[in-house]
Amino acid sequence: MAYVAISTLEKDTTKADINKRYVFLVCTITALGGVMFGFDLVTISGAIRFVGNHFQLSDYEKGWAVGCINLGCIIGSLLAGKLSDSWGRKKLLIFCAVLFAVTGVGTGLSVNFNMFVAVRILSGIAVGAAALVCPMYTAEISPADLRGRMVSFYQLAITVGILLAYLSNYLLLNTGTNNWRWMFTAQSVPALFFFAGLLLVAESPRWLIRKHRMEEATKILTKIGGENYAERQVAFISNSFSQELKERFTDILKKEVGPIIGIGLVIAIFSQAVGQNSLFSYAPEIFRQTGMGEETAFIQSFIVGIINFIFTFIAISSIDKAGRRTLLQVGSLLLFADALLLAAAFYFQWGGVWTLVFVLGFIAVYSSTVGPVTWVALSEIFPNRIRGNAMSTATVALWLTNFFTTAAFPVLKGKVGLPGTFIIHGAICFIYFLFIQKKIPETKGKSLEEIERMLAN
């Protein structure tokens, strides 16, 4: 699993006349992969009850229907490193866009449950590959002082996808007994926009330099920051590759990098275990259990998407100011408190209004702290010489956790109820807070090479 070394800009490059409009445009288009991620994640939330009725699914099978996409995500993340190195970032993302469109239609046309699961897994391959390559591409093309905000665009794009999926589900709710088929087929629409946008973006200049295509890389870097900027960056990036050693998977098993790998794995795992997957993937079901009607539950779910979208802007504006560690600390502690309040609301049956308030609070905290910081942290904490394999390993851990949490929710709900389920999530949030306090350093404002030296010490 190869992964290109992401060298940040030299200190004096932050003074260059950066074409921010161009950087924003390219990173926004690339982040549309996150829209597809969010759309895939949430479409199932509105469709699962109808899919369950159509195929006569048990609680375990419902969990499998929701969680199976994550197995495809694992495959996609494992393949993405080598494919992005051989094909290029742009070509791989174009392939993902096509796969998104095809699997959206395929899921809607499923004739049996096995076909439904198989196509969902194929869709997951596109999600997993895009989830790895989109932040990678963004970090590679962005100047250091913009990198945190640009990588956060990916999380913002996920929230846009979630919002669009909730809206799409609501609009298609009353289209008849085959409404779930239209919900999944609707995925093809944003996939086509993703495909069209990718035709306009340039290839990663770092990938081009690694392939000795200096003229193309220089042209792109000149467009970003001018001729002097491009000249410095070509020299700087070329030098970083000349000093790079061949990466082997066994390198991540070496004692000296063990603590760094451990930190990355914890960030990846806990980002998916704190409870947001239960809310995003089963929001209409949760609201219906509090006594809301079908249509009201879908409207409340759409409000969840709006809150998620709005509060992600807070993270984008603050991640390079407040810092990664601070946002993780505050976020994990507030999520702990909110999870306990949700458990109390379900246990004492406080009603739909309080449930909605605490669900919205949970989503607001997650989308402004833990959610976007996770992708930024994973894109910058691993040393250059092991970044590819370390990033792939952390991403696999992330998708595995996502699979288990989404697949387990219907079973947990049946065994310990919603109160017990969110007490478990609260405990996980508090454990994460303690780990952040002791083990995760602050990385804001530091180049990737400076972060590597800091963590090594």
Hey, how many other C-beta atoms are within 10 angstroms of the C-beta on 15? Answer: 10
Tell me the mean pLDDT in the region 186-200: 93
Name, in order, each residue with C-beta under 8 angstroms of 173's C-beta and a sequence gap of 6 or more. Answer: 46, 179, 294, 295, 298
Record the tokens describing residue 305, joined without a space.
Answer: 């998407």
pLDDT for residue 447: 63
Tell me the mean pLDDT in the region 250-269: 81
Q: What burial class does residue 41 get, using C-beta atoms within 10 Å of its C-beta: 0-12 exposed, 13-18 middle, 19+ buried?
A: buried
pLDDT over 90 percentage in the chain:
40
Number of H helices, E strands in the chain: 20, 0
Q: What is the pTM of this model?
A: 0.80
Extents of the domains making up the chain: 16-201+245-456
> Is a pLDDT exceeding 50 seen at residue 5?
no
Identity of residue 381: I
> Is a pLDDT exceeding 70 seen at residue 7?
no
Asked if residues 23 and 13 have their Cβ atoms less than 8 Å apart, the reply is no
Name, in order, each residue with C-beta under 8 angstroms of 435's C-beta and a sequence gap of 6 or more. Answer: 266, 270
> Is a pLDDT exceeding 80 seen at residue 206?
yes
Record the tokens describing residue 170, joined without a space.
Answer: 């609501």
CA dihedral 364, 361, 444, 237 (to 10 degrees): -30
pLDDT for residue 435: 94
Q: What burial class does residue 241 get, using C-beta atoms within 10 Å of its C-beta: 0-12 exposed, 13-18 middle, 19+ buried?
A: middle
Hey, how many other C-beta atoms are within 10 angstroms of the C-beta on 192? Answer: 14
Select from 3, 80, 82 the least CA-distant residue to 389.
3
Residues in the chain: 457
Distance CA 267, CA 283 (A): 24
> Is a pLDDT exceeding 50 seen at residue 1?
no
Architecture of domain 16-201+245-456: Up-down Bundle (1.20)
Tell me the mean pLDDT in the region 73-91: 88
Name, in order, each residue with C-beta under 8 angstroms of 86's C-beta and a sequence gap of 6 or more. Answer: none
Asked if residues 16 and 229 have their Cβ atoms less than 8 Å apart, the reply is yes
Query: Binning pLDDT at 50, 70 and 90, where does residue 248 land?
Result: low
- Per-residue pLDDT tens digits for 295-314: 888 888 889 889 988 888 87
Distance CA 332, CA 326 (A): 10
Tell me the mean pLDDT in the region 426-431: 96
Lowest-confidence segment of 59-73, 237-251, 254-268, 352-366 by average pLDDT: 237-251
Query: Binning pLDDT at 50, 70 and 90, where does residue 40 land?
Result: confident
What average pLDDT does the chain have? Answer: 86
> Is a pLDDT exceeding 70 seen at residue 50?
yes
